[in-house]
């Protein structure tokens, strides 16, 4: 069986800065720890954990923790997008735009209550909790369910009417 190439693109940690996110670094780390354990369960997934930008003011703890089928990469996002079959983001930020521009097959989950710029974006799903996010991620990669307006977006919108 061929392995599925999955790219996870995390947010940067905010440290002491005031940011756009509604969760603190420890909450985000807890979520990532659960996600990391989830990735390790699927040996047939070749997961790349995209390293934080060098300009990030907080050191990325995941550069020392990745193992087995989860590899850490500090290569450019653009180069990693070219290698990935599936891209997973847990917040709609600049890398989401890079995915759209590159034509990547992506899923982006946002936890209820988090701030984000625009609701109802195709491929971006608001989830209630980590279990919902992981279930969608599994369906996305294992069952090859591609993010689309009809299949994944919970708040369905007719985008042709929305943008015209």
Q: Contact, 9 vs 48, CB < 8 A?
A: no
Q: Contact, 62 vs 74, CB < 8 A?
A: no
pLDDT tens-digit profile of 117-164? 566 677 788 888 999 999 999 999 988 775 543 343 334 444 334 433
| Structure tokens given for 54 | 């060098």
User: Is the domain defined by 4-163 classed in CATH 3.30.70.360?
Assistant: no
| Structure tokens given for 71 | 């590899």
> Where exactly are the structural domains of the chain?
4-163
pTM of this structure: 0.82
């Amino acid at each position: 069986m061929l392995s599925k190439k999955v790219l996870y693109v995390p947010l940067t940690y905010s440290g002491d800065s005031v940011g756009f996110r509604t969760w603190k670094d420890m909450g985000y780390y807890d979520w990532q720890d659960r996600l990391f354990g989830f990735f390790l369960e699927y040996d047939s997934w070749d997961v790349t954990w995209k390293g934080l930008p060098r300009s990030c003011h907080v050191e990325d703890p995941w550069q020392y923790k990745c193992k087995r089928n989860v590899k850490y990469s500090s290569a450019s996002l653009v180069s990693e997008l070219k290698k990935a079959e599936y891209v997973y983001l847990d917040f709609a930020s600049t890398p989401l735009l890079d995915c759209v521009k590159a034509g990547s097959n992506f899923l982006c989950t946002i936890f209820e209550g988090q701030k984000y710029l625009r609701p109802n974006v195709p491929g971006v799903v608001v989830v209630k909790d980590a279990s919902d996010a992981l279930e969608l991620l599994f369906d996305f990669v294992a069952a090859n369910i591609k993010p689309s307006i009809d299949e994944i977006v919970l708040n369905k919108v007719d985008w042709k009417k929305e943008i015209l």
